[in-house]
Structure 1
Amino acid sequence: MRIVFVNATVVNTDTTLSDCTVVVEHGKFERVEPGGPIPGGPDTATFDAGDWLLFPGLINIHDHLRGSWLPRCGNGPYENVYQWLRELHAKPSVFAPARERDRIDGHRLYWLGTYKNLFSGVTTVVDHYVRLDSSFYQLPIRLITEFGREGVVRSHREPQLWPSWGEGIVEEFRKCRGISPFIIHVEEGVDEETGTELRRLEQLGVLAQNTILIHGIGFDEEDIALVAQCGCHMVWCPATHEFLYRRTGNVARWLELGINTSLGTDSSLTGGLNLLDEMRTAQRCYSQTFGQSLRLEVLFGMVTSNPARALGMGDTIGRVERGFAADLLVLERDTDRAPLETLLQAEPKDIVLLLQDGQPRFGDERFQWLFESDPQSIGSSPVIVGGRAKWVVGDPVGLLRAVQGDIGRRYRPAFLPFDDSELN
């Protein structure tokens, strides 16, 4: 099916185009340009998008889908992630939610994480975790799993706290061949114990243009300069930083030195509710920490073009542009707000339509027929979000009922925003 949007406002990181015709076909944007002839035909769905804003589908560059569980776990502030992990093992009562999560079928946790992301306009998510059987990855979202990985720099020293997620830092980096991303947590802490981790990675020879560094809270000026010099990418997770450590990294300096910086939610066990919520946390945290506002254009880039570039996918996702994957987030236009302010204030209920590779994933009930028009679809179902009738791929309500059966009690995490009446 061909999908056509006319009179659309298209918002990318560097441009906002008005009165556009956007044509989606074969999973890609076939045309994105002002005006022009409107294609038709029996297999064409045309929508007047005059009251809508069209954004690229958002990219969550850092999540752990197995950790898709609430409430958050911890009793900080902690000096570093290892202290948090030690408490995880020593104080079961503090981490009761995580232990309850262990009773859930792992595939269901991955579906929970998928919905956490879809309901916030995310079409691409990186699952930073050990490699699992491919059955875990059969999900209606672009799940990035092919990359070199390690959990933390010192997994070899305390494997009981954080076992290795791969074949070791050097081997995982080598297998990337400078092409695939190499992803690792680094200096997730505010003390001397974590403060030498970046230099350790330098000694190992794994700082390069395909290296993605998560957190960097403890980076000093020399560390930041080294990251910039090596062309590494940074990922900022402000919700986790505030929750566990009560401080964040020097993101302002990262940006000053031109380091490609992206935003990630991290695991639900410590991080943000979803990526839309994380964007608001990022803006507030930046203002409070650095005494200046984070420009919305910069923040928008952190969830679109920046992570696409970090993943080596800058020419395929992260923009509404001809030839790119048709990942599209549609919101109602608010005439009292600039387009990026509308995005920043958006909630799941405000999403008009979400496409991934041109296929509907979440949207208003009026698009039910669009969901049902794909003969290869896994199915879809109705859901009430914020009092509004919506339609979504799969069956999140049925999923949650199965999860409740696993744990033997009523449960609805806040990242599943449908109304409680759905579970009655």
Structure 2
Amino acid sequence: MILNNVQLINGQTVSIRVKEGKIAAISDVPLAARDCPQAMFFNGLIFPGLINSHDHLDFNLFPKLGTQKYANYTEWGRHIHQAYAEEIAAVQKIPQYLREKWGIYKNLLCGVTTVVNHGEHQITGDKLLSIFEATQDLHSVHFEPHWKRRLNNPLKMLVPVAIHTGEGTDTAARHEVEQLISWNLLHRKLIGIHGVALTPTLAKSFAALVWCPQSNYFLLGATAPVQHLKKHTRILFGTDSTLTGDWDIWAHVRTARGTGMLKDEELYDALTHKAAETWRLNCGRIALGWDADLVIVKARPDSAPLDNFYGTKPEDILMVMHKGSIRLFDQSLYHQLTDISRNEFGKLYVASSIKYVQGDVQGLMAEIRQYKADAQFPVYHPSDPAA
């Protein structure tokens, strides 16, 4: 496939040939179809598929839970299990594989092509996007049984450890980070998540920190001081789940941009190639030989490319490609896509925009509602009785 007339983040207009799941050519002029089955023409901004470095795929049917600012995550956990016991039980009645499938679609609809899933290994077998699970996931010092033994398992030496840490504003949160570092006897590669209590000195013990600012502000009223930490560890980006944030990663990204803690280029890197480097993935860049994980969004002629990028909403997405396969496309492209099996795509409304998404999202939502009749979704089909 050829993607003609797309604008890169640096402002350059190019055409891209995709072959066998990889980026095979990048040209300053339109490319002819030749050995590619189809050439498409756009007037859009193209960038690598986003990498969400922290999500709990099976937690994305929950509403936000919490009515106050908490000192730390353990205080929040105790409160929601007391105050929202019925709501939590109602969502947990939905089978895990259905909740995970929705978590995958939640990310895909926003242009995420790789998710680092934290928790139990996903069981859906869905290949709509990349689910990265080559980590040893420890929930946290307080909620992970036998965390010291698991952390110091010599059989896991080469596997990075992903762990919630420093998720609080009190001294207990900082002491938890210090305890984790002191017990990392084998000097495992630590990927911290949240890190609100991190200091520059503590940050040096982590290979990376996954910054989840919207979740942090909702729970704690504060976030990690990444403007100070970025000199000492790599900053990645994550959403956590809808328990503590918006379903739309772009809303999280705009929260992050609004803090001014990272430069625009640094935040962009945290969502793309810096994350790919940390997780050792062959994506996150638009370059020859890299995986064709690509997103094209509507161009705003009056905006600089980075402003265009940060202004993106799910309804602005024209196409999501994962490893060279189209997973989502806008209705405006329907008549250009003559070489794919369009009956493999379901029609959905995202705001007032019509998207075609691979798989049966409408059927998935209907199946979920068999277990929870009032389940809410940010997308709909006109035939959906809940629309």
Settle same-fold status: TM greater than 0.5: yes
2:379 counterpart of 1:417? yes
Shift of 1:418: 3.4
- 1:388-403 matches, cutoff 5 A: 388-403=353-368
* Aligned 8 A contact 2:248 2:314 in 1: no
Shift of 1:7: 2.7
Among candidates 212, 215, 239, match of residue 191 of structure 2: 212
Tell me the equivalent position of 1:200: 179
Question: What's the secondary structure of 1:188's corresponding residue?
Answer: coil
Q: Name the amino acid aligned to 1:29.
A: I
In 1, Cα distance between equivalents of 2:46 and 2:364 = 30
In 2, Cα distance between equivalents of 1:209 and 1:336 = 47
* Aligned 8 A contact 1:67 1:267 in 2: yes
Q: Name the amino acid aligned to 1:248.
A: T
Question: What's the secondary structure of 1:279's corresponding residue?
Answer: helix
Tell me the equivalent position of 2:100: 110
Q: Give the count of matched residue pairs.
A: 386
Distance 1:379 1:421, change over 3 A: closer
- 1:306-385 matches, cutoff 5 A: 306-313=274-281, 316-368=282-334, 373=339, 379-385=344-350
Tell me the equivalent position of 2:214: 239
In 1, Cα distance between equivalents of 2:382 and 2:147 = 37
In 2, Cα distance between equivalents of 1:317 and 1:94 = 40
TM-score of the pair, normalised by structure 1: 0.84
- 1:4-83 matches, cutoff 5 A: 4-11=2-9, 16=10, 18-35=12-29, 38-41=31-34, 43-49=36-42, 51-83=43-75
* Aligned 8 A contact 1:244 1:270 in 2: yes
Shift of 1:368: 4.8
In 2, Cα distance between equivalents of 1:24 and 1:417 = 30
**C-alpha RMSD of matched pairs (Å):** 2.6
Question: What's the secondary structure of 2:68's corresponding residue?
Answer: coil
Shift of 1:205: 2.4
Shift of 1:258: 4.7
Tell me the equivalent position of 1:277: 251
Tell me the equivalent position of 2:229: 254
* Aligned 8 A contact 1:209 1:233 in 2: no
* Aligned 8 A contact 1:207 1:227 in 2: no
Question: What's the secondary structure of 2:240's corresponding residue?
Answer: coil
In 2, Cα distance between equivalents of 1:368 and 1:339 = 25
* Aligned 8 A contact 2:236 2:275 in 1: yes
* Aligned 8 A contact 2:236 2:274 in 1: yes
Tell me the equivalent position of 2:84: 94
Question: What's the secondary structure of 1:153's corresponding residue?
Answer: coil
Question: What's the secondary structure of 1:324's corresponding residue?
Answer: coil
Shift of 1:22: 0.6
TM-score of the pair, normalised by structure 2: 0.91
2:131 counterpart of 1:143? yes
Q: Name the amino acid aligned to 2:306.
A: L
Distance 1:343 1:26, change over 3 A: same
Identify unmatched segments of 5+ residues in structure 2. Answer: none
Shift of 1:84: 1.6
Deviation string, structure 1 residues 129-161 (Cα, Å, up to 9, x no partner): 0235xx3342411001121121002335xx5xx
* Aligned 8 A contact 1:69 1:97 in 2: no
Question: What's the secondary structure of 2:286's corresponding residue?
Answer: coil
In 2, Cα distance between equivalents of 1:301 and 1:323 = 19
Shift of 1:213: 0.5
Shift of 1:392: 0.3
Identify unmatched segments of 5+ residues in structure 1. Answer: 288-292
